[in-house]
């Protein structure tokens, strides 16, 4: 569900930018070169590559169902597209004098793919993964991240590298105030069976930071064919969950500074999706599967709930009960019912809109207020804006009853109904980034001047 949420946010932002005429490149993908993937494959008795292929297929299936319009899905196991960029970054860090071989001993959490300290533990276990860390002692290459603490801090404080929301900005600045430590940047090849060999030292493999984080530019051809890189980097926004804030707001900018590359412009950090006020967990039995919701309610309903009822800045809650209640109230009885009422009046009482009228409506500007919310990443408020218009139209029909007026005064009633159809087209335009399929369906009904053959959103009892 977390992956679905992050990707839907990105898709809404990408679609909105395209609507405004911008050239957009929307990247998503999978970080595969990790020890925990190898361990998970062994636990189920599968070959690592087969295990990965099955997971990736599930992601792609989910994204297809959710109508995600990404331009590329990058796998970090891709030796042609990804590895050259990682090797180029490594070489640049070496050239800057920021890679150094050292012996290190520490507590390593496989779940986090990171070394942690005693103070991070509760009853000797990592609180996030409920397992004891491994005590590791080995010789690795380290990245001199501490060297860049001041520069990173200044770029975040000045909003040159803008961390959103402000609560996450304060969180990362507090970490920077304490000072960053140098980080292990490779692992012994004998202990890490997947991943990219360190240039000129095949006994070591590049660790997750240098590997996974580089995907944002390797996907654009950095290190091989950088036409896309020159066009689209730095990114206007990267979207992540709050659990990987440190990696993206400390380690990643440190790498880019060392390599002499520009930082992303903005980092949007969303919260977790809880269920019943608790973190989703198989042991608690409170997980909600997006595929199950899609099968029961449709992809548009999942997009709607996550866009409107989960804040992009804080934790949000989702239960199957709340999903059903909101679906019925806002989609079946709300938007779906409104479309049926207006189009039934239109089909019975007015001629369909002329082609030139439709063409004018298609190029009519979407209200600035709607895009202003999306510009500030307030996706839920952009949805509120649409549904306030839906509510106003419902109230107008209830108060003025154009279906009765048209029988008494055809000219006046017809104009009232035509005006409602035009307003409905505007709603369909705004729905494009959030409910793209529904947007297309409403526009088709308006063009044909017909009532839906079946409800856009069938009520669930």
Q: Distance (Å, rounded) from C-alpha 174 to C-alpha 168?
A: 10
Q: Distance (Å, rounded) from C-alpha 15 to C-alpha 440?
A: 14
DSSP assigned state of 247: I
The answer to whether the Cα torsion of 232, 90, 177, 132 is positive or negative is positive
Range in 41-50, 294-303, 390-399, 427-436 the model is least confident about: 41-50
Quick one: pLDDT at residue 113?
Answer: 65
CB within 8 Å of 162: residues ≥ 6 apart: 156, 169, 265, 266, 267
| pTM to 2 decimal places | 0.92
Residue bearing tokens 């920077």: 176
Kindly indicate the confidence band of residue 35, based on its pLDDT and cuts at 50, 70 and 90.
confident
pLDDT in tens, 248-290: 999 999 999 999 999 999 999 999 999 888 887 666 677 889 9
The answer to whether the Cα torsion of 42, 46, 48, 53 is positive or negative is negative
184: helix, coil or strand?
strand
pLDDT in tens, 167-186: 999 999 999 999 999 998 99
The class (CATH top level) of 320-448 is mainly alpha
pLDDT in tens, 99-113: 999 987 778 777 766
Does 313 have pLDDT greater than 90?
A: yes
Mean pLDDT of the chain: 93
Does 318 have pLDDT greater than 90?
A: yes
Q: Distance (Å, rounded) from C-alpha 76 to C-alpha 83?
A: 7
CB within 8 Å of 270: residues ≥ 6 apart: 5, 6, 9, 239, 240, 241, 242, 312, 313
Question: Other CB atoms closer than 10 Å to residue 46's CB: what's the count?
Answer: 14
Residue bearing tokens 């029961």: 296
Same fold flag, 2-271 and 320-448: no
Instruction: Identify the bridge partners of residue 27 per DSSP, sorted by sequence position.
Output: 72
Instruction: Identify the bridge partners of residue 104 per DSSP, sorted by sequence position.
Output: 138
Q: Which residues of 144-154 are buried (b: 16+ CB within 10 A; e: fewer)?
A: bbebbbeebbe
User: Does domain 2-271 correspond to CATH entry 3.30.565.10?
Assistant: no
DSSP assigned state of 362: H
CB within 8 Å of 447: residues ≥ 6 apart: 352, 353, 358
Domain ranges of the chain: 2-271, 320-448
Kindly indicate the confidence band of residue 459, based on its pLDDT and cuts at 50, 70 and 90.
very high
Q: Mean of the pLDDT values across residues 193-217?
A: 93
Residue 99 parent element (H or E): strand 99-109
Note whether 450 and 343 are within 8 A (CB).
Answer: yes
Instruction: Specify the higher pLDDT residue, 409 or 48.
Output: 409
pLDDT in tens, 389-418: 999 999 999 999 999 999 999 999 999 999
């Amino acid at each position: 569900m977390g992956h679905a949420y992050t990707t839907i946010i990105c898709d809404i932002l990408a679609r909105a930018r395209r609507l405004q005429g911008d050239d957009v490149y929307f990247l998503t993908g999978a970080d595969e070169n990790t020890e925990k993937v190898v361990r998970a494959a062994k636990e189920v008795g599968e070959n690592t590559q087969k295990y990965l292929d099955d997971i990736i297929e599930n992601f792609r299936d989910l994204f297809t169902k959710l109508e995600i319009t990404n331009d590329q899905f990058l796998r970090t196991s891709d030796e042609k597209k990804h590895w050259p960029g990682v090797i180029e970054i490594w070489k640049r860090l070496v050239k800057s004098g920021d890679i150094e071989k050292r012996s290190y001993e520490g507590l390593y959490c496989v779940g986090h793919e990171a070394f942690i300290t005693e103070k991070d533990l509760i009853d000797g276990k990592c609180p996030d993964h409920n397992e004891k860390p491994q005590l590791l002692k080995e010789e690795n290459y380290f990245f001199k991240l501490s060297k860049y603490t001041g520069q990173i801090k200044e770029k975040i404080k000045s909003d040159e590298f803008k961390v959103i929301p402000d609560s996450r900005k304060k969180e990362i600045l507090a970490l920077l105030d304490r000072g960053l430590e140098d980080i292990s940047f490779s692992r012994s090849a004998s202990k890490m069976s997947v991943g990219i060999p360190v240039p000129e030292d095949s006994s070591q493999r590049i660790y997750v930071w240098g590997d996974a984080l580089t995907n944002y530019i390797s996907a654009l051809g950095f290190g091989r064919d950088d036409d896309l890189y020159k066009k689209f980097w730095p990114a206007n926004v990267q979207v992540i969950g709050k659990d990987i804030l440190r990696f993206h707001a400390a380690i990643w900018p440190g790498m880019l500074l060392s390599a002499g590359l520009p930082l992303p412009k903005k980092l949007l950090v969303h919260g977790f999706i809880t269920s019943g006020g608790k973190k989703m967990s198989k042991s608690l039995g409170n997980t909600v599967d997006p595929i199950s919701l899609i099968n029961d309610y449709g992809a548009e309903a999942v997009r709607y709930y996550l866009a409107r009822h989960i804040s992009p800045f804080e934790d949000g809650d989702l239960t199957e009960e709340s999903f059903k209640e909101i679906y019925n109230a806002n989609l079946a009885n709300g938007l779906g019912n409104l479309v049926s009422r207006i189009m039934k009046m239109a089909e019975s009482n007015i001629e369909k809109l002329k082609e030139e009228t439709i063409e004018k409506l298609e190029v009519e500007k979407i209200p600035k207020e709607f895009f202003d919310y999306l510009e500030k990443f307030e996706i839920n408020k952009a949805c509120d804006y649409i549904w306030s218009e839906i509510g106003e139209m419902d109230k107008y029909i209830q108060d003025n009853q154009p279906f009765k007026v048209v029988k008494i005064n055809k000219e006046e009633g017809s104009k009232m109904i035509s005006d409602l159809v035009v307003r409905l087209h505007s709603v369909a335009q705004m729905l494009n980034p959030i409910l793209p399929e529904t947007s297309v369906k409403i526009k088709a009904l308006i063009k044909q001047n017909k009532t839906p053959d079946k409800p856009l959103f069938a009520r669930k009892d």
